[in-house]
Amino acid sequence: MNPTIELLKSHRSIRQFKDRPIAPDLLTEIILAGQAAASSNFFQAATIIRVTDQVKRVRLAELAGNQAYVESAAEFLVFCADMNRASRCCDWHGVEANTGFTEQFIIATVDVALVAQNIVVAAESAGLGICYIGALRNDPAAVSAVLDLPHDSYAVFGLCLGWPDQNPEVKPRLPLDIVFRENSYGTASDLGQLADYDDAIRHYYQTRTDNKKSQSWSEQMSAMLSKESRPHMLAFLRRSGFLEK
């Protein structure tokens, strides 16, 4: 198998980092790799904010549930879905920006994800470790205030980057037959495969190096989907100029 595929299949989240900076040239190349990602309609609707102000780092760590690695990682990047830049193009050309469409929200959010994943692959290819921080959405308005985000933008997630100081196991993914279908979704039951996968995930959690627990994948999903999931996000996104129509 080629090295790129092996790299992608070996991804782990890293939450302990060495006290070692990332060379500026390497960081620049990693960001440029992110920019090379595909972009719907060439909106390039992703803005990345590098947070070097330690006061802001501490505040963002608090907003993300006191995840210490937000402070300790060599770099912390915040990925923003950004339709503000395209809207300003309308001002320059004397036309009114017709914003607020759900499709624009999807375009900007997908652009962010594609850019971020390019950055993650580039970083891991250089030996760096990463950890996505979706918990910035616990209080998105406060995050916007910390980062001075304009209207028609929002912070989708953060990303810790640094040199790994741990070597965690790779978390098993769902069986390929469950997620990779041909021609249609299909109606065949996958409960047997899911039961086997539950056993695999429970074994992973029980035997991994850190944070051992006993929980299956279906139990984890049931627990998550039986409670509200950041219900504040809809109102926040509408105030920010998204999902109005």
pLDDT tens digits for range 171-187: 999 999 889 988 988 86
Q: Is pLDDT at 1 greater than 80 in this prediction?
A: no
76 near 161, Cβ under 8 Å?
A: yes
pLDDT in tens, 147-157: 999 999 999 99
158 near 82, Cβ under 8 Å?
A: no
Return the closest-CA partner of residue 43 out of 109, 100, 118.
109
pLDDT in tens, 188-242: 678 888 999 999 999 999 998 888 889 999 899 999 999 999 999 999 999 999 9
Question: What is the residue type of 91?
Answer: D
- Nearest-10 Cα torsion for 169, 170, 175, 178: 130
pLDDT in tens, 5-53: 999 999 999 999 999 999 999 999 999 999 999 999 999 999 999 999 9
Q: Is pLDDT at 63 greater than 80 in this prediction?
A: yes
Backbone φ and ψ for 17, nearest 5 degrees, come out as -125, 150
What's residue 188's pLDDT?
A: 67
* CATH number at 3-170+228-239: 3.40.109.10
136 near 64, Cβ under 8 Å?
A: yes
What's residue 212's pLDDT?
A: 86
Residue 47 CB-density burial (10 A; 0-12 exposed, 13-18 middle, 19+ buried)? buried
Average pLDDT of every residue of the chain: 95
The pTM of the full predicted model, rounded to 2 decimals, is 0.94
The alpha helices in 18-68, defined as continuous H runs, are: 24-35, 54-63
Backbone φ and ψ for 25, nearest 5 degrees, come out as -65, -40
What's residue 209's pLDDT?
A: 84
